[in-house]
Each structure stands twice: as C-alpha cells, then as structure tokens.
Amino acid sequence: MLSSAATASATSVSARSGDILYGYLRRKTVAPFRFAQPKQQVYCKSLRPSFVAVRAMSESQTALKNQPQSSASSGKKQALISLSDKKDLATLGNGLQELGYTIVSTGGTASTLENAGVSVTKVETLTHFPEMATLVLFFFLLLENQLDGRVKTLHPNIHGGILARRDVEHHMEALNEHGIGTFDVVVVNLYPFYDKVTAPGGISFEDGIENIDIGGPAMIRAAAKNHKDVLIVVDSEDYQAVLEYLKGGQSDQQFRRKLAWKAFQHVAAYDSAVSEWLWKQTEGKEKFPPSFTVPLSLKSSLRYGENPHQKAAFYVDKSLAEVNAGGIATAIQHHGKEMSYNNYLDADAAWNCVSEFENPTCVVVKHTNPCGVASRDDILEAYRLAVKADPVSAFGGIVAFNVEVDEVLARELREFRSPTDGETRMFYEIVVAPKYTAKGLEVLKGKSKTLRILEAKKNDQGKLSLRQVGGGWLAQDSDDITPEDISFKAVSDKTPTESELADAKFAWLCVKHVKSNAIVIAKVGSLSSSLSIRLGSFMILILGLFMVKNNCMLGMGSGQPNRVESLRLAFKKAGEEAKGAALASDAFFPFAWKDAVEEACEKGIGAIAEPGGSIRDQDAIDCCNKYGVSLLFTNVLLEKRNIQSIAERMQDYHAIAMVILFGPKLRELQKQVQENVKNMMSEQLQISYGSRRHNPDSRARNGFMKPEFIASCSTFGPEGKGVVIRIASDSTESVYNFLRQQLGDLEPLLGQSPYA
C-alpha cells in the first residue's frame, strides 16, 4: 500500500502529466508544427528529451511523406524476434533470411543474429509514427526515452503491424497511410523470471520485480490473437517445424492454432509463476490464496489409465513450490518399460513411505499400500524382512530403498527367491532408490528387460497437497508430521518398555502411509500394512492398524468389511511371532470389548498406539489394563477424512428420535430453533479437535464427559421451510426432556404443546 506521501506524489505527477498531454494535443490542433514548452519546463525539466523528440518527429512529417517507407502494401515479409533464451537462434535467423524475411529484432537478440551473419533491422528504427500525434504516441515516446528502453516494443508501429487483420480493408489502409509494415512471424520468449526467483540463494524483491516481462507477453498475446495472419513461436523446439511450414508455403490453420494455444499457455504459466511469487511475498506461507493456478506440463502420454478403457497422461507440476521438490514426477528412469498410470501411483506411495525413515529401510508396495517395511543397519536384511512380511503380495510389487543400491544389493534383488517356496525368483514392476552405483545399475538391468529402475530425489516438506472432488479441489498442507513431533502418552496402568515404545513409533510412522482399515503385525525389524475398500472410483477410509515388533512387519490384513476380520488375517500371517509386537492405529477404536482391542490383547500384543478420541476410550483403557497391555495415545488423527460427525456419533446411543416440523409459520422460529440446538450442542459436545485430549485424572471416557445427548438441526423442502431435529441419547427420558424444552416455544404456533 502506498504511503500518504507517496500517494500525494503520484497524484501530483499524474496531474502534471495531464496538463502536459493536454497542452501538447491542443498545440497540435492549433499549430501542427509548433511545440510550446513553458509550462512543461516548469513542471518537469527531465522530460525535455521527449519533447524534443516529439517536436522533431512532428516537424519532419512532410519530409517523411516524400521518402520511401515500408508499408503493408510493400509485399515485404517481416519477422519480429525478441528472445531471452537464445537457444538455436542462429539456425532460426538464417532459415528465415533464406526464405526472404526481413528480420526486426531488439538488443541482445539483434547482436546475436548479427554475430551469426544475419542481417537485422533494429526495432528502434520503427519509432516514427506519421500524423498520429495522440496520447498513445506521446506516452510511448516518453517512456522509451525516459525508462531505459524497458518499453521499446510497446509501440503502435510494432503492435499495429502484428494486430492488423489482412482481410479487413480499413486495417490495411490505415497501415499503408502511416507507413507501417506487417509482421508475418513473431518469435518471443520471456524474461527468465522463473529461473531468477528459484535460483540458489534466492532473489531480492526489487530484482524479482525487474524480471517481470511486460512487452514480451503483450507481443505474444497480440500475435496469438491474430494467429490467422501471424505465426507466433515461443518454443525453440518448434523452430524447425516452423521453417518447414514456411518453406512449403502452407496455410494450415490447425498448425497456427496449435502454436497460438502454446503461446497463451506459455504466458499463462509465466503469469502463474509471478502470481505465486508475489503471493508469498505478500502473505507468506501460512495462508491459502483466494485463487491460484497450477501450471502443468505434459511429461508423457500413457497407454491407458487406471483401467484399460480410460485414456491417461502424466503432467509435471511447474509451480515455484515444486522447484527441486523431488519425488516421482522428476525421477530418472534408467531402464525398463514405459511407466503406466498405476505404476506412477504405486511408485509414489512407495517412495513417500520409504523417504520417512532415517535408518536404511526397504518398503514393498502393492496397489499403493505398503505390504512390507523393514529398517536395519544392513540393507540386505531389511530387504529380506520386508519381502518376508507378505511374499505373495510382494511378487509383482514395487520395491523402494532410501539408500544407494550397490552391486551387492542389486544381486540380491536379482537372485532372491520367494520365501513361499524358496525357488521362484521374486518379480518386481519397479525398483526406486535415491542413487545407484554403475555396477549396481548394470546388474539390476540384467534382472528383466521390463523392470523399471527409477532414481528419485527425496521429497521436500511443506508442500501443498491437492485432491480432486466433483466440481472442485481440496487443498491441504502435506502430512509432514513425524514421531518426534508428537508425544506417545501412556494412558494404561502398564507403561511400555523402551523397545515397545520404539516399535510403536515405528508402526505409527508406517500406518501414516496406509489406507484405512489395515492391520499389520511385525517383529524383529519390521513394519506396516494396509486395508482399502474401493467402491467404483471411491475409496472408503475408516481405520488403520499396524502391528510391529523390533521394526519388522510379520503380517497384514486388509480389504475386509470390518477391522476384526482384517485383524484375524494379519494374525494368521504372523503366527506365534505376533506375541509381544506393537500395534498402531491411524484412528481411535470405537469398540474394545469383544472387538479388535480385546482380540489383539488376547493374542499377546505388547503395545497399542492410537490417537484417542472415541467416546469409548475408557473401554479401550480398561481392556488393556485387564490384559496388561500398554496403551499409548498420540492425540494425532492420521485418517484422510474426518470421522465422528454428529450422525456417526448418534450410532453410539441407544435412543434416537427425529422430529419433522413443516409449515409457513415455522419460518418465524426456524432460526431460533437452530441457534438453540447449536448453543446447547456447543456446551454438550467438544467439537474442537484441540480439546480431544485424554485426561488421566478424569473418570470420564476419552478425557471429556460423554454428552448426555447429542442433537442436530437442519432445514429441508422448498425454500427451507421445514426443520428436521435429530436427537440421540442413552435414555428416552433425556430425549423427552430435550424435546419438551425445545418445542415448548412452538405452542403458540401449534395450538398446544405435544409434550405438555
């Protein structure tokens, strides 16, 4: 925001400029070849060079008319070139010159062309503008002289030659009258703003502003708009195709439209980068902007999407936030078949998970879910343990490492036999790691011609996570929380041992990367697993359970309609080794007795870690105390959706009632009823997640009192004339009391109280 002094100064300059322009235009009307200076000199002596230029131009009009001039009717073909990135410029310039084009260029571009032996007309020679001494003319001349050439291409002689339509007679007559030539080809790329603001060490705000291009986007948009007559080129990769097009004398409008589309995309991405950078300078990183653009660049077309009947492509995010961000999008593929849609999803899941760990770790993923994870000082042992967790699922999966793959590890990957029969070589779709030795890469390539070998950089933290929903997008910060950021608070009588606590943290870190309703048992260096339920294109996320011991996964159950069945599958795989393991959940346990918690305790689980937050938390605590199991609350919910809405909480009560009120008179009390329900619920129910913390000194469940009742109020019908009140409680008396209190105010409208 401008200060008052700055505002006053700007206003003064604006007023003086108006006087100057008015005086100039008046003089031009009364005495075309005279220029009066007194008032202008008093206001701004520094403008003298521009006044002199305008006067000289004005006084030379008669002479100019008698001189040969380039015009639209001259038949000369002209190309305008102004580039920041001069890659392949010499090739383009020579090619255009051979095709008979006169090349008009600016500054450094002109010098580069001249050094390559290409004849150039500098854009500064096009500044004369016959008998059109208007506000626009004066303004551009003034800026060109006073602002260090920053607007040399913002001139009617340039934009007139670009925008004039060849099939509009009066357009061409105007160009001929004023001696303006047309441009048939415009080649422009922009100031390297993106590279400057993302350079190591950053850039000052002032330098960033100076690197915002103005003239370039204006020329690109003008040429793209008039692409029927002007060929616009913004990408050096198109130079050869453009020369071939011009050489053949073609008039293919589809080719021109494609270049115009590319030009507008180029400018849009540029503006997006500027907007993103300015937002960060203005608001910082803590707020979501009211609107933003995500520039995506096509990396590859895919054979098909998630299913064979779906078309698909892969795009790379070119926003400033993703510069050097790492991840699968920028991974280098050293070997194997082209990546598919599902390959990208699975590789991303594996890489995100393995990147969480500091110690040497191996993660095996199938259908985006970790089915084996292990950390060990010896990466060979970690790999074997990760595969052993679920060798059937690991077959045909994705293997990820957070350490370099050397020759020894590569040979193990190549020759390792499945633990199921000890004979079949393990088959994988993808191997991803941060680095490979030359020998390791050579050995791994020999495993299979189709094996995709990816080299990826670790993902940066603090990125924005986007997810599409029908008609919109959800945005959130990336989930960068680590076990060091939270406290594992013992709420049971038994506190965990040091090794149990380590296993619980390890399991918690794994469950973070598994879709809900997953159960994993691990021991002697193992880790996580998952359950996901798919209904069409929707993913149902409910509860994630991980059982771990000594950082090694033993078994996993997933895909079942309830968590108990998943738990049993995991125990079936883990067998006796599950005793003493740790279990981590990404959400609280809504039930404990004769459910997942008690069954896990009965089978010998040593420790359970969960966020807490259920109205039956005390049941889970009591159950763990009965069996001597350590229960840890993290107070961090890891699920991908918010559970326990009012409707879901109602399922925890025995008495549920619904009252439907409808009628025109009800509108008078509708808002009051809704407000009453809202106020009462704010007292009864602690909705803020920050308040969902267990209080070990309280006898209440979950650290806060279970509400005596819960209720919701909503409208329905035409113009919302109806009201639905839902009430749930453990006793019909509580429901009756609530209704009597709330509906008593309706007696004058209803004629009598239904609950008197």
Nearest to 228 by CA among 262, 264, 252, 263: 252
Is the CB of residue 644 less than 8 Å from the CB of residue 728?
no
Cα angle 667, 672, 675 (rounded to 5 degrees) comes to: 130
Return the ∠ at Cα 47 (arms to 46 and 52), rounded to 5°: 125
Three-state SS sequence of 704-755:
CCCCCEEEEEEEECHHHCEEEEEEEECCHHHHHHHHHHHHHHHHHHHCCCCC
Q: Which residues contact 552 (CB under 8 A, 6 or more apart)?
A: 374, 385, 389, 522, 523, 524, 525, 526, 527
Q: CA torsion, points 87, 90, 94, 96, in degrees to nearest 10? A: 30
The DSSP output letter for 695 is -
Taking the C-alpha atoms of residue 17 and residue 25, their distance in angstroms, rounded to an integer, is: 12
Token digits for 504?
Answer: 């619980």
Pairing relationship of beta strands 185-188 and 77-82 according to DSSP bridges: parallel
Residue 298: CB atoms within 10 Å: 9
Q: How many whole angstroms separate alpha carbon 501 and alpha carbon 490?
A: 10
Q: Tell me how many helices (H) and strands (E) the chain has.
A: 27, 27
Sign of CA dihedral 675, 679, 684, 687: positive
Closest listed residue to residue 683, CA positions, set 691, 694, 672, 695: 691
Q: Per DSSP, which regions of 162-321 are E strands?
A: 185-188, 231-233, 296-302, 312-317
CB neighbour list of residue 216: distance below 8 Å, 6 or more residues apart: 82, 84, 153, 188, 189, 190, 191
Rounded CA separation 370/264 (Å): 42
Helices 239-247 and 89-98: crossing angle in degrees, nearest 10, is 0
- For 714-717, the CB contacts below 8 A with 24+ separation are 715/670, 715/674, 717/662
CB 623 within 8 A of CB 597: yes
| C-alpha distances in Å from residue 174, one per residue of 57, 178, 224, 246 | 19, 6, 21, 27
Per-position b or e across 316-342, b if 16+ CB within 10 A of its CB: ebebbebbebbbbbbbeeebbeebbbb
DSSP state of 493: S
For the record, the structure tokens of 614 come out as 């259920």
Provide the 10 A C-beta neighbour count for residue 590. Answer: 23
Structure tokens at 4: 């008052």
Tell me the three state secondary structure of residue 314.
strand
* C-alpha gyration radius of the chain: 36
CB proximity list for 661: less than 8 A, separation 6 or greater: 673, 722, 723, 724, 725, 746
Beta strand segments in 336-386, E = 361-366, 369-375
Please state, in angstroms and rounded to a whole number, the distance separating the CA atoms of residues 726 and 674: 12
Residues with catalytic function? 225, 367
